[in-house]
Amino acid sequence: MEAGLPAELPRLSRTAPRAATGIVHLGLGAFFRAHGAVYLDEIMAAQGGDWGIVGVSLKSPGTRDRLAPQNCAYTALELGPEGRTPRVIDSVVEVLVAPEDPQAVLDVMAAEGTRIVTLTVTEKGYCHNPSSGSLNLEHPDIRHDLSAALPVSAPGYIVRALELRRAAGLRPFTVMTCDNLPNNGRVLRGVVLELARQIDPALGDWIAAEARFPSTMVDRIVPATKPEDIAALAELTGTNDQAPVMHEPFRQWVVEDEFVDDNRPDLAAVGVQMVADVTAFEHMKLRMLNGTHSSLAYLGYLAGHETIADTAADPVFADFVKHLWAAEIIPVLTPPPGEDLNAYADALFQRYANPAIRHLTWQIAMDGSQKLPQRILGTLAEAHAAGREAPGLTLAVAGWMRYVGGTDEKGGTIDVRDPLADRLHSLSSAAATPAEKVAALLSVREIFSAEMAEALQPSLTRSYETLVQKGARAAAAEVTP
């Protein structure tokens, strides 16, 4: 029995029948288990269907080891301002650990019953160049996958599984990314086709003609599960669940309705928005939610705030984020059909301020080199092209630059988690002045194009100098009229 829980508590276990596999999910982290897997659980509970999910951990066995003793059942706990609501999720039917048995992963992806492959592997899992969207042929995982039949990367698994299906005379599966990338389906399609054509041009042509890569927009705040959450859930439910996920009440899933042979679950029946083009929705979410989330994460962390809720409760940062929406983001954003961007901003602030969601600023700050181009730099580029000032977003980028330097405002060490962490730290440390640090970090072409670096350098230097001289909170206060 796990420490801190009464020995007599029964371990959570599956009660619903195990559905046949229809979906393989690469990157079975907390977000998908609190979002996509919940929708699919609701569909099968209402309608049945062979849409069971085989989750794949691409790196470590931790998720499998927690779920296996529970027959892959787990609790999704909704954290609302008024209380907590648990739901047991049974849609995941098996978890595989790719490094332990890559062939088993390929076999289930290549099986005839698998009709959809979904993935949440974060930006860095695409092995691409974020500034251009192209496949990074020098990425070590891609170099491996070009010469080995058993892959290690998400694009590699997709290509090799499709290769097996083609050889067996099967139809391809639909590949549906659920990561926060603009045009995520098109980005993934481009990466997969580049890799496939490097391996076999004919395979690439078959994938291009027959497979489908719908773009999606996903939204739900899913804070990291902590040991105290597990203990509190046990007290609430009377069962020992070692693999729960926490989530806010809000959820949204917008999906381009483009599937191989139209073979998909009835997503619309549980509230998924099925659309012809997701672009406007994903821009709204990436820029208004993810862009401000990252902005608050870097500046809030530097100012000493542990969570987004703590940061939003600070009146300086509350005014700052409202300024970002009203003055810098909404003016250069095209609203999706039927959406009111000002109302969306108001709803976002209420979500940020939810005291039950303790989403760590440090957690959101991870992998900034992969996130900045999509979340913030696109808005900055459009603002500059329109001749508009964007001092708040510029300050957010400067906040990221100071954050990746590895030292906070009190001289403490920051645990920077980023694929480029060592390189970014070295560039920052080797520079003596704020102007030199900004110039050094702007030279990272995976993040900043040469044109963007030149346009941003003067204003970024001023923002960085303000951060150093006055601190993040005072710098944010100066931005707000």
* Alpha carbon distance 86, 244 (integer Å): 9
Q: 3-class DSSP state for residue 476? A: helix
**pLDDT tier at 358, thresholds 50, 70, 90:** confident
- Of residues 283 and 214, the one with the higher pLDDT is 214
Helix (H) or strand (E) holding 63: helix 62-67
Phi, psi dihedral angles at 253 (to 5 degrees): -145, 115
**pLDDT tier at 129, thresholds 50, 70, 90:** confident
CB atoms within 10 A of CB 319: 15
Q: Is the predicted pLDDT of residue 1 greater than 60, yes or no?
A: no
Q: Is the predicted pLDDT of residue 109 greater than 90, yes or no?
A: yes
Phi, psi dihedral angles at 476 (to 5 degrees): -65, -40
- The answer for 20, left when phi > 0, alpha when psi is -120 to 50, beta otherwise, is beta
pLDDT tens digits, 296-309: 999 999 999 999 99
Q: Is the predicted pLDDT of residue 89 greater than 50, yes or no?
A: yes
Q: What is the mean pLDDT of residues 72-81?
A: 95
User: What is the average pLDDT score of the chain?
Assistant: 95
Residues of the chain with pLDDT > 90, as a percent, come to: 89
- Do residues 420 and 443 lie in contact, with contact meaning Cβ atoms separated by under 8 Å? no
Q: Is the predicted pLDDT of residue 3 greater than 60, yes or no?
A: no
Helices (H), 255-374: 279-284, 291-302, 308-313, 315-323, 341-352, 361-364, 368-372
Q: Is the predicted pLDDT of residue 466 greater than 60, yes or no?
A: yes
Q: 3-class DSSP state for residue 175? A: strand
Q: What is the mean pLDDT of residues 90-106?
A: 98
- pLDDT reported for residue 415: 96
pLDDT tens digits, 41-54: 999 999 999 999 99
* Alpha carbon distance 73, 90 (integer Å): 5
pLDDT tens digits, 305-357: 999 999 999 999 999 999 999 999 999 999 998 889 999 999 999 999 998 88
Integer angstrom CA distances of residue 440 from 199, 260, 331, 401, 429: 37, 46, 31, 10, 10
Burial class (CB in 10 A: 0-12, 13-18, 19+), 454: exposed
The CATH superfamily label for domain 21-275 reads NAD(P)-binding Rossmann-like Domain (3.40.50.720)
Q: Specify the residue for token string 């209402």.
A: 46
Helix (H) or strand (E) holding 39: helix 36-47
Token pair belonging to 400: 């990221």
**pLDDT tier at 5, thresholds 50, 70, 90:** low
Token pair belonging to 27: 């990157």
pLDDT tens digits, 245-282: 999 999 999 999 999 999 999 999 999 999 999 999 98
Q: What is the mean pLDDT of residues 22-45?
A: 97
Q: Locate the domains of the chain by residue range.
A: 21-275, 279-479
- pLDDT reported for residue 417: 96
Residues of the chain with pLDDT > 70, as a percent, come to: 99
- pLDDT reported for residue 282: 87
- Cβ contacts of residue 66 below 8 Å, gap of 6+? 242, 243
> Could you tell me the pTM of the whole model?
0.84
Q: 3-class DSSP state for residue 257? A: coil
Using CA of residue 195, residue 196, residue 199, residue 202, what is the dihedral sign? Answer: negative
- pLDDT reported for residue 180: 85
Token pair belonging to 164: 């097996």
Topology given in CATH for the domain delimited by 279-479: N-(1-d-carboxylethyl)-l-norvaline Dehydrogenase; domain 2 (1.10.1040)
pLDDT tens digits, 218-242: 999 998 899 999 999 999 999 999 9
Token pair belonging to 83: 């209380």
Q: What is the mean pLDDT of residues 103-126?
A: 96
- pLDDT reported for residue 391: 97
Give me the torsion for CA of 390, 394, 395, 400, rounded to 10°: 150
**pLDDT tier at 155, thresholds 50, 70, 90:** very high
